[in-house]
Every structure is written in C-alpha cells, then in structure tokens.
Amino acid sequence: VTNPLTRHATVTAAAAATVDELTGGRFVLGLGSGESSVRVIGWKTATLAQVRECIELMRPLWDGQWVQPDGPSFRLNFATGRRITVYVAATRPKMLQLAGEIADGVIMVTGISKESIDYGLRNVETGARRAGRRLEDLDIATGVYCHVGDRGAAMKQAQPFAALYALRYRGTERDFGVDIPDGFGISTLYPDLLHAEDWQQAIEATNWVPDHVLEAFTDEFCLLGSGEDIATGVGRLASYG
C-alpha cells in the first residue's frame, strides 16, 4: 500500500503499469493516507480529496489518455489500456465510504469481530450507493495482525500495536480505556511505534498496557495461536461475508 504524497500519482501509475505488465495483469495497487510513512517525515496524512485525486489521475494515464492536472499535458508511454485494480486501505468512516465510492476493492482495518466487520461494511456500502454501486461490486479484504505460535508469547508481540491504538483512538471506545504515560507518543520509538526497528524495545516501552487490555485488543484485531486456531479465525471472518 502506497499513498499520494511520498510518491506522486504519475510515479505510482508508471510503476503500477510496469508491475502489472510483468505479472500478466495480476497486480493490485493499494492506496492509503500514508499514516506512518508520511508522519515520520513530519507531514500530515493525505486527505480524502488527495486520495480521490490520485486515483482519478492514474486511471486515465493507464488508459493511455493525455492528462493536464497542473499545466502541461502528458501521458503514460506504453500504457496497455488495462484498468489496474485499486484497493483503498481504510479504517475510519469517511475513508471507508470513499473506498466504496471509487475503488475496486477495500482493505478494511476495522477489527475482526462481527460488530467491527459490520461497521466497516456499512460504511463501504454507504459510499458504494453514493456512486450507484452495490457492496457486491467491490472486493473486500480484511487487514489483520497475525502471529503463529504460543498465544501468550504472541500477545506480547502485539503489545506495541495495542499501545498504538490507545494513542490513535484516544478518547474513544477503541482506546480500550488505557492510561497513556505522559510524554509517550507514536514517535517515541524510531521510526514510529508501528514500525519500530527494535521490536523488543517497543515491547519494553509499552509494558504500561495492562494484561486485560492486551487480551481485549488481540481478541478484536489479531489472529493468534496455532495454525488451526488461525484457520478457524479466518473461517469465522469468511462467515461474516
């Protein structure tokens, strides 16, 4: 998944067309707001309008059309004319709705409970209807944290993610009621809490996450345990549609 800011839409369009050609049309382009890759360089994440503009610029380029977004007109040499599949990664309602409106698919990072999946699907469907489409017209993927192995040890590996959600959703039910230490933030570890270079250090730095909160978080966002446990979880997700 890339974003409209660290790579310009023309660069992404050209790269996507190349990989799509090399793979015989099997390429899927993921696009999101750039939460971590953008914040780590001090920028604000992409707006809904910027995500929309990026997709609306790339599609005519893939068709071989001339475009003129900022002055001189240009086109993508050797465009095949194939419409490359675009998935939008989304967590919050407005981005989920935008995905439903303009994307070919959506990567919902909303959680794995029945309630979380329904929340995501409702918002995607709202956007789809706005564009005269149905939910069935989109491919739906679920973003989920996964770790195969002993459940207790796997939960500990997930602890920095639980801290991240407490920070990201402070003041909502998705902060799981965690008291965040003064001065602790997403950028406390390099390059950020989600992609910490030293994961053991990230675990040690987030030991303030209570065990009951960690268990609640992993139940809501993670598939952990043996291969059989995870296969069962995937089957449960499939049963939700």
Query: CB of 225 within 8 A of CB of 154?
Result: yes
pLDDT digits over 6-62, tens only?
A: 999 999 999 999 999 999 999 999 999 998 788 878 899 999 999 999 999 999 999
Q: Is-above-0.75 flag for pTM?
A: yes
Q: According to the model, what pLDDT value does residue 241 have? A: 76
**Residue 106, strand partner residues:** 88, 140
Q: Which long-range contacts (CB under 8 A, 24 or more apart) does 136-140 make?
A: 138/99, 138/100, 138/103, 138/104, 138/105, 138/106, 139/85, 139/87, 139/104, 139/105, 139/106, 140/105, 140/106, 140/108, 140/241
DSSP 8-class letter at 191 = S
| CA distance from start to end of the chain | 23
DSSP 8-class letter at 74 = B
Of the given ranges (88-92, 119-123, 170-174, 194-198), which has the lowest mean pLDDT? 170-174
Judging by beta carbons within 10 Å of its beta carbon (0-12, 13-18, 19+), is residue 124 exposed, middle or buried?
buried
- Burial readout 169-188 (b: 16 or more C-beta within 10 A, e: otherwise): eeeeebbbebeeeeebebeb
DSSP 8-class letter at 223 = E
pLDDT digits over 125-163, tens only?
A: 999 999 999 999 999 999 999 999 999 999 999 999 999
Query: CB of 106 within 8 A of CB of 90?
Result: yes
